[in-house]
Amino acid sequence: MSSLKEVQLKIHSVKQTKKITKAMNMVAASKLRGAQSSMEAFRPYAGKFAEVLGSLAEKAGEDASPLLVPKEEVKKVNIILCTSDRGLCGGFNANLIARVREFIEETADRNLEITLTNFGKKGRDWARKSEFSIADEYLGVIGGTFGFNVASTAGRKLIDGFLDDSYDEVYVVYGEFHGMGKQVPAMKQILPIPPIESEEQEVDADTPFLAEHICEPSPDELLGDMLPRNINIQIFSALLETSTSEHAARMAAMDNATKACDDMVDELTLLYNKARQAGITADLMDIVGGAEALKG
Amino acid sequence: MAENIKLEIVTPEKAVVREDAQIVMAPGTEGEFGVLSGHTPFLTTLKIGTLHYKDEKGIERYVFVSGGFAEALPDKVTVLAESAERRRDIDIERAKTALERAEKRLASADKDVDIIRAQVALARAMHRMSLAKV
């Protein structure tokens, strides 16, 4: 049995760890609120944009923009991998990376040439060790506060890459936020732009049908202008979701860690008390034994 | 007096303006246009520039907009812009540094410089500054 002193030290150290995990939990909680309110603030923009885009897409021709046209042969694929910069958030990053691996395995027979655009250090570190080359990396974005310009910078590079045939397809892998306890690694195609579903049915009732809109310039040109923006929106929304998910994942992980600390402290305290009791018993035995001996 | 029209200016980061206006004047790519209540449904892209409107009390308000488009409906104008700021929120110092940076880029002989981007940045900075000084 370990000595009293050792157990005491161990208890102390576990308590210290608990303080840290608890503090991290609270920090994550407050950052989560920030991330959620950014998501909230983004929703009206994204919603309106999708609505207008949907109705425009119906009006405009199929070949309104080269971004809509799939490449005949798909060889070069770019994956935007959104992960967090920092660890201690459970399996969050590992799950995202696993999603990329899954895609790679599924497409192994197509001989794709895969490059990565990394948001977040964890994904970058993984990419460095893997056999795929990194086209671009953005650190210090996810998990903090960032503006739309981050997404539009990345978006522009990818669009340029798509147009000059550096990439034939672009995907994004990100952590979809489904609530506090649930973050799902999701994968979405960004380029070529998948057919846009119109959300006309929902909005028909209160807004007049867009066919009556006067468009300036023509619907085709408008669509051509909006599609690249839409890509930026997709990227921005992926970044926001990943940020929110990261904080939620960290909160859960730190919550578990704090609970585990509690359990350990309980166990160790029990052990400590047992050792102390054993010590007292031994001492008593000594005294009693000594007294008996004196009696003679 | 015509009825007021709802004006909404939203960016990806926040809703900048959400209030009733008497009239809205916006810089469309094919020319500036004004919207009163009862306007025909209309959709257009916007230039980098200044949108101004009269609020409920008839006070003239100015908003800088860039990279956006506007949808006008009989009772509502929605502006979606990549960036938008009310005049009082414009950061002059930031605009100044952006201006200098863009000028430097345009002046340099470096072939890697994206001329169009630099010109757009220049236009944005100049508009912000001129609006802030009004």
Chain A contacts of B73, Cβ < 8 Å?
207-208
Answer for the pair A176, A85: CB distance below 8 angstroms, yes or no: no
Residues A21 and A164 both lie in one domain:
no
Using CA atoms, how far apart are residues A74 and B98, in angstroms rounded to an integer? Answer: 40
Residues A114 and A182 both lie in one domain:
yes
Residues A78 and A181 both lie in one domain:
yes
| Cis bond upstream, residue A217 (ω within 30) | yes
Please indicate, yes or no, if residue A295 is contained in any of the structural domains.
no
Residues A122 and A206 both lie in one domain:
yes
With pLDDT > 90 as the criterion, what percentage of chain A qualifies?
55
B116 CB within 8 Å of a chain A CB: no
Q: Which residues of A touch B (CB under 8 A)?
A: 38, 41-42, 44-46, 48-49, 52, 56, 147-148, 151-152, 207-208, 210, 212-217, 222, 225-226, 229, 232-233, 236
Using CA atoms, how far apart are residues B48 and B36, in angstroms rounded to an integer? Answer: 22
The shortest C-alpha distance from B69 to chain A (Å) reads 9
Residues A273-293 have pLDDT tens digits of 999 999 999 999 999 999 999
Whether the predicted interface score ipTM is above 0.85: no
Q: Total structural domains in chain A?
A: 2
Residues A116-133 have pLDDT tens digits of 999 999 999 999 998 888
Rounded to 5 degrees, what angle do the CA atoms B79, B81, B86 make?
85
Please indicate, yes or no, if residue A77 is contained in any of the structural domains.
yes
Rounded to 5 degrees, what angle do the CA atoms A113, A77, A79 make?
115
- At the second CATH level, the architecture of B90-133 is Up-down Bundle (1.20)
Give the pair of three-digit tokens for residue A38. Answer: 């950014």
Q: State which CATH number among 3.90.1150.10, 3.30.2290.10, 1.25.40.20, 2.60.15.10 fits the domain covering B5-88.
A: 2.60.15.10
Answer for the pair A53, A224: CB distance below 8 angstroms, yes or no: no
Residues A120 and A148 both lie in one domain:
yes
Q: Is the pLDDT of residue A225 over 80?
A: yes
Tell me, what's the pLDDT at A246? Answer: 94
A264 burial class (0-12, 13-18, 19+ CB within 10 angstroms)? middle
Residues A136 and A264 both lie in one domain:
no
Q: How confident is the model at residue B134 (pLDDT cuts 50, 70, 90)?
A: low
Residues A172 and A275 both lie in one domain:
no
Among B7, B46, B73, B82, most A C-beta atoms within 10 A, so best to mutate, is B82
- CB neighbours of residue B6 within 10 Å: 15
Please indicate, yes or no, if residue A296 is contained in any of the structural domains.
no
For chain B, which residues make up each domain, given as ranges?
A: 5-88, 90-133
User: Which residue has tokens 């952006």?
Assistant: B98
Residues A114 and A241 both lie in one domain:
yes
Please indicate, yes or no, if residue A228 is contained in any of the structural domains.
yes
**CATH code of residue A190:** 3.40.1380.10
Residues A17 and A107 both lie in one domain:
no
Using CA atoms, how far apart are residues B12 and A215, in angstroms rounded to an integer? Answer: 23
Q: Which structural domain range is residue A11 located in?
A: 4-26+252-290
Residues B32-80 have pLDDT tens digits of 999 999 888 888 999 999 999 999 898 999 999 998 889 998 999 999 9
Please give the interface size between A and B, counted as residue pairs whose CB atoms are below 8 Å apart.
Answer: 75
Residues A131-178 have pLDDT tens digits of 888 998 999 888 888 888 889 889 989 999 999 889 999 999 999 999
Q: What is the pTM of this model?
A: 0.86
